[in-house]
Structures are given as structure tokens and as C-alpha cells.
Amino acid sequence: MGNRRVVAVAAVVAAALVVGTATPSHPAWAGGQGEAIIADVDGDGIPDRNTLRLAPGSSSVCEVVVEVGLPGGGFGPGQAYPYLTLPVADRNCPDMGVGLNLDTDPPDELAVAWFAGPPPGIDSTLLALDSFQVSAGFDTIFQPSYIGTADFNGDGRQDIYEWTDQGDGFATYLNTGTGALVPGPVRYCSGRPDFRLADVDKDGAMDVVIAYLEGCGAYFSGVVVVLDDGTVVDLHTDVYGDDLWTVEVLDANGDGHPDVRTTSLVTGTQTLFLGTGAGGFHPAPTAVRDFARVSGVRPSVLAVLANDFVTRAAVLTIVTPPRHGTVRITSARTVVYRPNPSARATTDRFDYRVSEQGRTSDARVTLHIVR
């Protein structure tokens, strides 16, 4: 591939790629090609601005220009620090990176990479700079399009993620706290991903929702959730890539759990997947069967939607009424079951339906009648 980028072969694919990628969880610490790295490299608690460049007048010396953050705001004058001499006069210095603390001292280290891949003679695709000197090299994505930070294992340290449009998709590298990075379980192989970071299983470690195309597995396109332990949850799959999606993370039903809304770039259809808070998702609406004890002599209020996966927009209707009583839907979307006083049955049942955004789901309520 060299320094060239692969061009999408279909207009609809190109449209999918333009829709966007996630805003990083810490925008100041992440960057694309040519962006300044904001990081506290002197350990005084004030972020500094760090710019990667080829040293003026040189064809092989790479340097970082540090503008120290000032207490009252802004940055001081720049100071250049050479950190790498290229093996050949390639002029291809690292041009993207992030700041994060890879060890135990206060200053941040810089992790720098090449958008076009490293030049000949350099085996590492990502370099760690400690005090503006190369302290370690790592094998990461060869041609990253973006590099960012988030905590992917819940240890309180920022880790690194990269994504690319060159076929490796999305990958993470965990910060050991001892100056090293190790490949993390959160990764997905595909073409350029449209992704959102979110802790969907509420364990303090970041997960990722990815809409992809040119998948490396069984499906050409789809939407997946990759949990922090590497578990992959499929939301959409398409073997031939006839459909493509974008993704959005939100709390659609107000339960505090991240949900996922997908939009088809082919049909415009939106699908809402409601999160369980433990890494699972159910398409809205999903009705869940209920079992309840009710009185045989007085009305009982049944919150049939309490365990369903619905939003406030869901409409509740009765599909099959009970045989030994009547039911009524309230304005609060509960069901009032009123037993037939003359009936002696000890059980009853009825079926209900929830409807939302053109979709429906039915469930049965089984009643144990106590007289």
C-alpha cells in the first residue's frame, strides 16, 4: 500500500465513511494527522502543546516543538527537542500522536505514529517518547488514520486506541503503567469503522460500538459492540454488504444504560437497541413474558412494561383478553386486571402487544389468582 490510501469503490461506501467517527472521550489527548498533541509533558499540571515536525533544514531529524502551558492560559514560546534520526533521508517523521502517562512519574509521555506508516529501517509503528527521547517502540496498526486514548480495562490508566481505513479496523493497546503497551482485547478487523466509545456494561472499562464495512469475518457490513473483554455482540449483519449503517449511543429510555441507535444509509430505517447494562442489547420494542399473582376479589394493577425493552414512545394494546376477568390499560401504561366474581378459576392469562417505530412485539401474562 505504501503511502497511498485505498479509495472506496462504491459511492454508497464513500457516503458511509463520511458520516463520521467517534468524538474521542478525551478530545485534548487524541489526534489525527498533523494535529498538535496537548499533554502535560513537564508535569506541572498544566497541559502543554506539542507539535511534531521534520527539523528545519534537515531531511532526517525528527523533533517535537514544546510550547509550555501558562498558568493564566495560553502557551509559552516553542522549544524544539530532536528525538529521532531517520535511517535514510526519507523526510517521513511521525505526524500524529497522543499524550498519556505510561509510567509513575508526573509528566506525560508522548506516543507518536506515522499516518503513512514508518519509513524503511524502522520496525516499530508507534514510538513512546519519555523526556523527548524514544523510550520504547511497539507493533501497532501500520497506517493509522487516528490515535486516541480511553481506559479500556478499568484500571484508571489511559490506554491507546487506533483506527484505520486500511483494513485493520479498530484496535486497542493497554497501558501497563511500566512504560509498555500490550495489545488489548478490544479490536475489530474491517475497513474504516464508524464507532462510538461507551461503557455499555457499566464496569468502568470502555467498550466500543462499531458500524463497519469490508469486514474481515463472515459479514461484509454490519454493526457490532465489542466489550472490554473482547466479546463481540452483533446488532446488524449483512453477508453481501447490501446495507450499511451509522451508529449513535444514547440513553433512549432513561434507565441510565447506554443504548444504540442505528441508521441504514440505504433505506434510512432507524433501529433502536436498548442496553441491559450488562453488555446485552434488545431491539425496541421487545416484550418479555410476565407471571403475576392477582386477587380473585379485587382489581390488580400490573406493570407489564417494567421488564420490557421499550421507550416512552411505545404503545400498549391487548391482543388476547383473559377468559376469567377483564383488563384495562391505564394512562400510565399499566394494566388493571379485574377478576370475574363468579369465576372459580385459579389461573388466567392474556396477551399484549407493544408497538414502537413501526415494530411490534407480543408477550403473554400468566396470572395466579389468589382467592
Using the 3D structure, point to which of 259, 282, 305 is the last residue of a domain.
282
Query: Is residue 127 domain-shared with residue 46, that is, in the same domain?
Result: yes
C-alpha dihedral, 248 to 253 to 256 to 262, nearest 10°:
-20
Is residue 316 domain-resident? yes
Query: Is residue 226 domain-shared with residue 176, that is, in the same domain?
Result: no
Is residue 6 domain-resident? no
Using the 3D structure, point to which of 184, 200, 234 is the last residue of a domain.
184
Query: Is residue 253 domain-shared with residue 201, that is, in the same domain?
Result: yes
Is residue 8 domain-resident? no
CATH of the domain at 311: 2.60.40.10
Is residue 232 domain-resident? yes
Q: Rounded to whole angstroms, how far apart are CA atoms 166 and 143?
A: 7
Residue 70: pLDDT above 80? yes
Is residue 17 domain-resident? no
Query: Is residue 158 domain-shared with residue 211, that is, in the same domain?
Result: no
Domain residues for 166?
29-184
Query: Is residue 45 domain-shared with residue 165, that is, in the same domain?
Result: yes
Residue 140 Cα distances to 1, 11, 83, 342, angstroms? 16, 30, 20, 74
Query: Is residue 231 domain-shared with residue 332, that is, in the same domain?
Result: no
Query: Is residue 178 domain-shared with residue 232, that is, in the same domain?
Result: no
Using the 3D structure, point to which of 137, 167, 184 is the last residue of a domain.
184
User: What are the strands of the beta sheet with 207-213, ordered from one edge?
Assistant: 194-198, 207-213, 221-226, 232-238
Confidence of residue 106 (pLDDT cuts 50, 70, 90): very high
**pLDDT tens, 181-229?**
999 999 999 999 999 999 999 999 999 999 999 999 999 999 999 999 9
Average of pLDDT values for 168-179? 98
Number of domains in the chain: 3
Query: Is residue 34 domain-shared with residue 147, that is, in the same domain?
Result: yes
DSSP letter (8 states) at residue 261: E
Exposed / middle / buried, residue 164 (Cβ in 10 Å: 0-12, 13-18, 19+): buried
What pLDDT score does 3 carry? 34
Entry field: residues in the chain: 371
What pLDDT score does 190 carry? 98
Is residue 4 domain-resident? no
Query: Is residue 45 domain-shared with residue 180, that is, in the same domain?
Result: yes
Alpha-helix runs per DSSP H in the chain:
11-18
Query: Is residue 87 domain-shared with residue 230, that is, in the same domain?
Result: no
What pLDDT score does 88 carry? 77
Query: Is residue 67 domain-shared with residue 34, that is, in the same domain?
Result: yes
User: What is the residue whose three cell numbers read 478487523?
Assistant: 189
Residue 98: pLDDT above 60? yes
Is residue 12 domain-resident? no
Query: Is residue 147 domain-shared with residue 52, that is, in the same domain?
Result: yes
Is residue 262 domain-resident? yes
